[in-house]
Structure 1
Amino acid sequence: MSTGFKVVIPARYGSTRLPGKPLLDIAGKPMIVHVCERALEADAEQVVVATDDQRIFAAVGDLGLQAVMTDPNHQSGTERIAEVARIMGWADEQIVVNLQGDEPLIPPGYIRDAALALAGQDQAGIATLAAKILDVEEIFNPNAVKVVLDKNGYALYFSRAAIPWNRSTFPDQHDIASSSLPHLRHIGMYAYTVGFLQRYCSWSVSQLEGVESLEQLRILWHGEPVLVRIVDKTPEAGVDTEEDLNRVSRRLLSGWPTKS
């Protein structure tokens, strides 16, 4: 599989808590521009913003970056990326990384890690990331998605529950430091082949996906493998609220390292 990869950044204008989020100013630039810069720093061969809003399309184009207008009726960013791949005429074996448009602090190395992990094997059409959980409260937090792997690094299951469940120490004792089997938090970045993307978008929502509200369970439901690369730590949170916006602005203005 080729090691060259492209990055597509889904970006919608609508947001319940932060309307127009992709265009909000962070340290003198629209947020979507910071995200594009992370992708370029990862050495992506092409970076495309996938949007359904003319304001985002125009702003990205004015800054010399590439954007594609997509169907406003898509139910997920994955569907939006699949449309970009069709518009661009990318080959089935082309690797595409899905980078969320509200992640201006994502380490560029993580983008590259996901793409290279997928390129380095031939069993899965999708790769994602995970990091070891160091805070015991995180294990029991349903907003932190956990993943359990097989011996070869492919996902056995994703869940909002505390998996794997340590029968000896849970729920009253939480000695994760001495656990022989680390708990892993899933990091929601994906690298896909275009062929996999098209298959995925043809599948209906699975029962597991509906119960856990985790889109990635659709893949396991249909019997396809998901490769998981373990990275050093969970990246800093993205931008969902005004508080997040202020936090990220402070980090970037303080000289947050954007090379990794």
Structure 2
Amino acid sequence: MNSVVIIPARYSSKRFPGKIIADLNGKPVIDHVYQRSIQAELVDRVIIATDDRRIYKKVEGFGGQAVMTSSEHRSGTDRLAEVASELTADFIVNVQGDEPLIRPEMIDQAIKILKDSKDAEMATLASPISEIEARKPDRVKVVLDKNNLALYFSRSKIPYYREEDILDQNFLQHIGLYVYRKDFLLKYTELEPTPLEKAESLEQLRALENGYKIKVGITEHHGPGIDRPEDLKEVSKILKDNGGLN
């Protein structure tokens, strides 16, 4: 079965405009993401989807494949679907362009989860985090059923432990890596935004609210993404210290 990674890349960002092409240890952030993506064993092709010529030229410069897309898309998933609609592929992988520490094996893990699943239309990953981290609204949490299907995603601390002194409190941070069956992705982007999606500002809730299932894999590997200029220093140190293994 054919799997294609598409990396949606836009220039505008409220907290850090142009972060996708910011310099990180001598090359653009998006280059790090691209190079890690092409190392995944289950990936047949990697494409960067953008609506900005500055990003397009940077990708050309490091030898990656870029595709220009509409500037009217309301989300990265819509940009993904525009490119996917022209591809022959079974699975479409959405890798975030601001995650230079993504591991190739994480991409493979998510693809394998969906390939092996008979009841899910999407797959993603999550990583254990501390209770202190779980309090932060920019850390999206997920709770699962006994079959590792997502029950809910939230910016709030979930689950809520009524007894504060419970020692084995478990929290999972959602990692924004998605694998879709191609036909589902095209259908998914035609669905209207849903109430919970709008309340939490979490697009994946649209799938759950419409009755679709999301399978979640657990990984211990997850480093910081690039959200603010100061994140570049932290990620740069990780790359220099251990080759980005996190």
TM-score, with length taken from structure 1: 0.88
Aligned to 1:57: 56
Alignment of 1:2-21 (within 5 A): 2=1, 4-21=2-19
Aligned to 1:85: 84
User: Is the contact between residue 131 and residue 171 of structure 2 (CA under 8 Å) also seen in structure 1?
Assistant: no
Displacement of 1:214: 1.1
Q: Which amino acid aligns with 1:256?
A: G
Q: Distance in 2 between matches of 1:243 and 1:80?
A: 28
User: Is the contact between residue 4 and residue 44 of structure 2 (CA under 8 Å) also seen in structure 1?
Assistant: yes
Q: Which amino acid aligns with 1:8?
A: I
Displacement of 1:82: 0.4
Aligned to 2:68: 69
Displacement of 1:163: 2.0
Q: Distance in 1 between matches of 2:3 and 2:97?
A: 18
Q: Which amino acid aligns with 1:238?
A: G
Please give the per-residue CA displacement for 1:140-181, whole angstroms capped at 9, x wherever unaligned: 3222222111121111111222222222x23xx3x44x34xx
Aligned to 1:216: 204
Displacement of 1:256: 2.0
The answer to whether residue 213 in structure 2 is matched with residue 225 in structure 1 is yes
Where does the alignment leave 5 or more consecutive residues of structure 2 unmatched? none
Q: Distance in 1 between matches of 2:74 and 2:26?
A: 31
Aligned to 1:160: 155
Q: Distance in 2 between matches of 1:99 and 1:70?
A: 17
Aligned to 1:28: 26
Where does the alignment leave 5 or more consecutive residues of structure 1 unmatched? none
Q: Which amino acid aligns with 2:14?
A: T
Q: What secondary structure sits across from 2:15 in the alignment? A: coil
Q: What secondary structure sits across from 2:85 in the alignment? A: helix
TM-score, with length taken from structure 2: 0.93
Q: What secondary structure sits across from 1:192 in the alignment? A: strand
Q: What secondary structure sits across from 2:71 in the alignment? A: coil
The answer to whether residue 235 in structure 2 is matched with residue 248 in structure 1 is yes
Displacement of 1:18: 2.7
Q: What secondary structure sits across from 1:189 in the alignment? A: strand
Aligned to 1:104: 100
Q: Which residue, 131, 134, 142 being the options, matches 2:137?
A: 142
Q: Distance in 1 between matches of 2:153 and 2:15?
A: 27
Displacement of 1:119: 0.7
Q: Distance in 2 between matches of 1:255 and 1:164?
A: 34
Number of aligned residues: 245
For the pair shown, the structure with the greater C-alpha radius of gyration is 1
Q: Distance in 1 between matches of 2:13 and 2:80?
A: 19
Superposed CA RMSD in Å reads 1.7
Instruction: State the identity as a percent.
Output: 46
**Structure 1 residues 16 and 149: CA distance shift in structure 2, 3 A:** closer
Aligned to 2:225: 238
Q: Distance in 1 between matches of 2:15 and 2:227?
A: 7
Aligned to 2:128: 132
Please give the per-residue CA displacement for 1:50-85, whole angstroms capped at 9, x wherever unaligned: 000112112212322111000011111100010011
Q: Which amino acid aligns with 1:122?
A: K
Q: What secondary structure sits across from 1:75 in the alignment? A: coil
Q: Distance in 2 between matches of 1:151 and 1:102?
A: 31
Q: Which amino acid aligns with 1:157?
A: Y
